[in-house]
Chain A
Amino acid sequence: MPNIAVFIEQRDGAFKKVAWQMISQARKLADANGGEVWGVLLGGDAAAAAALAGKHGAHRLFAAADGLERYDSERYGTALAAFCRAQNPDLVLIGATAMGRDLGPTAAAKLGCACVSDAIGLKFEGGAWEVRRPVFAGKCFVDVVPKTAPAIVAIRPNAFMAADGGGAAAPLASFDAGQAQAAPKAVVREIVSADGGRVELTEADIVVSGGRGIKGPENYALIEDLAAALNAAAGASRAVVDAGWVDYSHQVGQTGKTVGPNLYIACGISGAIQHLAGMSSSKCIVAINKDAAAPIFKVADYGLVGDLFEVLPELTKAVRGIRG
């Protein structure tokens, strides 16, 4: 029975929505192949997680809280490995987030099991899992088959759609998280927020990015204004980051963040291959550029050839009109 465990990430009690996306997809696979979907929660509000996990299709929720209120790789890695040893899931899905990218290999090494990073597709065929992931930042895909059970697979946020199946709260079970209460060697002393309320690039539904065409740091506000109107994250090309106009945490591309939102709006970005690599899996791409020959138009679904200094304020206004 290929039971699938899904790690439900929480920080300060707030759940990452990639958990519900993974549970929804796991439920589809479980319905087709047999097996159950189990939520796994470390720290946080188990009752709230059980309600949301059940709604998206989880059969059960396993929760442990002792010493696990705040993430650190050692305690969480120990707890997740202990869960796997006790419950023997066939597959463990983790969001490919800052936490998940750290936790996956940590737990995998403890279990001696396979770990696959940043997956965007998952199939169960002939008794084996086949995982699709982009390599070369999306310039091509590779399908891999983990050879261990469990296998840990990190799923890129927004790769799957969350589906509210209207299920009741998942029945709760606790589990023994092993030595997770022991003091870790590496201690998270403090968490500092960059700037409050900013929408995070890798999990945003919409991303608005600016390139060299914005001409200077003072004009990045045009990008941020449109992003704010769309409740979107603000991104940037490498040129803009390397020029020091915005912080590197905004960079989209092969040496920055890889994003796959529903809508990606590239403003004044020519579309160098290193940038395209980071955003070409976006579902809908809009390019705004005054150079009609810019390569960005080759990957765009919608293009607007024009001066972004004229277009963006009007677009922001029009979006505000639509979204009220």
Chain B
Amino acid sequence: MKIAVCVKQVPDSETRINLAAPAAKLDQTGFTRVLNPYDAYAVEEAVRIKEARGGEITAITVGPVTVKETLKKDCLAVGCDKAIIVDDPLLAGADEAAIAEVLCAVLKREAYDLILFGIKAIDDDSGQIGILVAEKLGLPHVSTITKLELGEGSLTAHREIEGGREIVDCPLPAVLTCQKGLNEPRLPSLPNIMKAGMKPMQIVTCADLGVAPPASLVEIRQYSPPPARGACRLITADDAAAAARELARVLNEEAKVI
């Protein structure tokens, strides 16, 4: 089994975005950067497949080389065999379509049976790249999977939908995007983090891949802080029951939301 896992480094979910006024760019200096949490499910699933059937896992990312530590600790140290980083200043500000194009250029260099993604990255919350890559490579995809069973040359995946799930049969090779619930990602052990430093990590540019930096189809105009919320009105009463009744009354008569 040759498996590719496409990952992204993102600011930690506890990160505060300090943006007082609209700005053309978002200042991301000083953010703590981690592996995108959804990508951890993709990495873990790949490792479990490798443990069960053997094979090789390549972790692939597009981003500055500052991603190295994350790749080492959260991908190579938990079972990925090698990593490829596309680091190219010409890709600064690239949109989903452009990043997908670059990933395709990397993925085309080898014949992967399975290409895994997280459902979305928690910074731009876009959730498109895995699906775009599948379409551009002409491969079938199943998105938002919470369960995976591999057969011979095929797979069955459970895809989360509102109020239930679809059970999807799909031939290999295929692209999957992984949702929370698929597995419980393991933590890297210290010895494995040490050993991960020995695993190959290749850093390439678009030129190395033989592609021109793809054009973005979406232009970013500005970032702005979300609208400020008004002050909180505290509901008080003699006891909990009276306070609960007063809250219900206020929500019904004043806020008119129930």
Q: Complex formed: what's the CA distance from A306 to B234 in Å? A: 11
Q: Is A51 an interface residue (CB 8 A)?
A: no
Inter-chain contact B251/A273, CB cutoff 8 Å: no
Within 144-197 of B, Cβ neighbours of A (below 8 Å) are at: 144, 156, 159-171, 174, 180-181
Chain B residues, Cβ within 8 Å of A258: 125
**Interface residue A298 (Cβ < 8 Å from any Cβ of B):** yes
Interface check A182, CB cutoff 8 A = no
With the chains together, A206 CA to B230 CA distance in Å?
A: 20
- Of the candidates A109, A133, A253, the one having the most CB atoms from chain B within 10 angstroms of its own CB is A109
Best-surrounded residue of B38, B100, B124, B257 (most CB of chain A within 10 A):
B257
Among the stretches A33-41, A84-92, A96-104, A158-166, the one at the interface with B is A96-104
- Cβ of A105 and Cβ of B128 under 8 Å apart? yes
Which of A55-63, A186-194, A213-221 makes up part of the contact surface? Answer: A186-194
Cα separation A304 to B252 with both chains bound (whole Å): 16
B165 touches A194 (CB 8 A): yes
**Contacts known (A302-B232, A303-B232, A319-B248); A109 close to B240, Cβ less than 8 A:** no
Across the interface, which residues of B come within 8 angstroms of A299, CB to CB? 229
Residue A147 contacts which of B170, B219, B251 (CB distance < 8 angstroms)? B219
Spot the interface stretch: B43-51, B67-75, B131-139, B205-213.
Answer: B131-139
B110 interface contact, C-beta 8 A: no
Contact B221 A138 (CB under 8 A): no
Chain A residue at minimum C-beta to C-beta distance from B144: A98
How many A-B residue pairs have C-beta atoms within 8 angstroms? Tell me: 269
Assess the A188–B168 pair: CB atoms within 8 A: yes
Q: How far is the CB of A222 from chain B (nearest CB, A)?
A: 12
**A287 to B233 CA separation, bound complex (whole angstroms):** 10
Which residues of B lie under 8 Å from residue A10 when comparing CB positions?
Answer: none
Q: Is the CB of A136 within 8 A of B127?
A: no
With both beta carbons as reference points, the residue of chain A lying nearest to B142 in the complex is identified as A186
* Residues from chain B with Cβ under 8 Å of A113 in the complex: 217
**Which of A117, A140, A304 sits near B225, CB closer than 8 Å?**
A140
Q: Is the CB of A322 within 8 A of B252?
A: yes
Pair A287/B232 contact, Cβ less than 8 Å:
yes
Say whether A142 faces chain B, with CB atoms less than 8 Å apart: yes
Instruction: Report if B241 contacts A (CB, 8 A).
Output: yes
- Given A140-B17, A144-B220 in contact, is the A304-B244 Cβ separation under 8 Å? yes
Of all chain B residues, the one with the shortest Cβ separation from A115 is B128
Decide: B258 and A323 in contact? CB cutoff 8 A: yes
Could you tell me if B217 and A186 are in contact, using CB atoms closer than 8 angstroms?
no
Contacts of A101 in B (CB 8 A): 127, 143-144
Residues of B within 8 A of A256 (CB): 180
- Tell whether, in the assembled complex, residue A105 and residue B135 are in contact, meaning their CB atoms are under 8 Å apart: yes
Closest residue to B242 on the A side, CB-wise? A314
CA distance A321 to B15 in the complex (A): 42
A192 and B97 in contact, given A102-B143, A249-B181, A263-B258 (Cβ under 8 angstroms)? no
Q: Are B167 and A188 in contact, with the CB atoms below 8 A?
A: yes
Chain A residues near B224: list those with CB within 8 A: 140-143
Binds B, one of A23-31, A170-178, A277-285: A277-285
Contact B162 A98 (CB under 8 A): yes
B-side contacts of A319, CB under 8 Å: 248, 258
A77 contacts the other chain (Cβ, under 8 Å)? yes
Q: Which of A114, A184, A315 contacts B247 (CB 8 A)?
A: A315
Cross-chain pairs A/B with CB under 8 angstroms, 8 sampled = A98-B144, A105-B132, A115-B217, A142-B223, A186-B171, A284-B251, A286-B251, A305-B234
Across the A-B interface, give the 8 residue pairs with the lowest CB-CB distance, nearest first: A109-B135, A314-B244, A318-B248, A310-B240, A114-B217, A185-B140, A105-B131, A186-B170
- By a beta-carbon cutoff of 8 Å, the part of chain B in contact with chain A is 11, 13-17, 19, 26, 37-38, 95-97, 100, 120, 122-128, 131-132, 135-136, 140-144, 156, 159-171, 174, 180-181, 216-226, 229-230, 232-236, 239-241, 243-245, 247-252, 255, 257-258
Q: Tell me the A residues contacting B by CB distance below 8 Å.
A: 72-74, 77, 97-99, 101-102, 104-106, 108-110, 112-118, 130, 133-148, 151, 184-194, 198, 200, 202-203, 206, 230, 247-249, 251, 253-256, 258, 262-263, 272-274, 277, 280-281, 283-288, 297-307, 310-312, 314-315, 317-319, 321-323
